[in-house]
Structure 1
Amino acid sequence: MSKKDNGAPIILAYLNEKNRPYSAQDVFTNLQKQHGLGKTAVVKAMEQLALEGKIKEKTYGKQKIYFADQAQFKDVSDADLKAMDCQISELGADVQALTQSCRQMDAELKELSGSLTTEDMVAEIQQLKAECSGYRERLEKIKSATNHVTPEEKEKVYKERNIYVKEWKKRKRLASDMINSILEGYPKSKKEFLDEVGVETDEDCKVAVPSV
């Protein structure tokens, strides 16, 4: 781009192509990255194009707006407008269909992204097979063990357990009755009494009497 044209042909072509109003700042922002136009050069070029009548200029307060000269565009008939409207409707329908298709593909992509790859599935299957093999070996050892508990021994253990549980409940009840009797003439709270005499309850030890 030469210093002489100052970007004016690029700006003129851009305004004619877009055919919509822009400020100098808008044009600078839109063209600077691609064409390397400076802000001052853009402003001067647009002012010069307006003076030459190649583009139109409108002032709104302190801001100037520039747009293509509409005289260069041919008139459009009603039939052409209707045809354009139909085309816009068709394109809008195509856009909706494509948008829906994209959403479906996005959903499928998310689902596939969360699935295991073939390599991961093979590795997991091998791991599960190894675990099953370990469980089988453990089961065989249990089955082949000679130190199984007989039904008689099992019944004896349960009976002893019931005796110990009943004794636990009995002693807990006796201790509770005794403490309650003392508390009738004790000036402090039950917690303070238990702390003072050093009594630890089942609750302190986080245990509970099992059901018989």
Structure 2
Amino acid sequence: MSPAPDPTTLAAFEAAKGFMPRHEGLALYEAAAAAGRLGLPLLEVGTYCGRSTLLLADAARSAGVSALTVDHHRGSEEQQPGWDYHDPETVDPEIGLMDTLPTFRRTLHRAGLEEHVIALVGRSPQIAALWNSPLALVFIDGGHTDEHAGADYEGWAPHVAPEGLLVIHDVFPEPEDEFTGQAPYRVYLRALESGEFTEVSATGSLRVLRRTAPAER
């Protein structure tokens, strides 16, 4: 039987702001639960309002490790005013810019998972440049331009531990199926072509890959 998140966590996931459907969330949780057995942290790139963070936190709690989540909380390109995925409730009325950090904190608090998550607030490449520890899982779900998705891969994939997992969201092989660009798909192909990762599963737009060869630095 596949591992499942706590019912309270799953209910909080369903209620949280975000764009990950339930079946992909359950696949993410299963991957995080498996990776957690390595005894190393689980890391997410692209927090937004914390919908998927809840699942990583639940898995981290069960494994006795920490979940880390990286985001500048000013929103990706497709979440800015004028775009289909813009949510005006996430705009700071004082400065007129998006700020998803307060919503994220409320999401964690309501689910009782604050103590299991370390929020790294800043731009992914800057934080990755300072990081020097192995990770059991890296979940890439940040910006959808080639520049940002590529930088997330370059910055964080090398830190996936042997037998650890690289998970990529919004992988759309067919151009007509995409909603914000195919950069995550190109990152997915890049990971496979590197020879360092082997695909484990595909659920909707979620791809799970395992590190099967050392990272080339």
TM-score interval (norm. to shorter): under 0.3
Report the structure, 1 or 2, having the larger helix content: 1
**TM-score, structure 1 as length reference:** 0.18
Structure with greater Cα Rg: 1
Query: Structure 2-normalised TM-score?
Result: 0.18
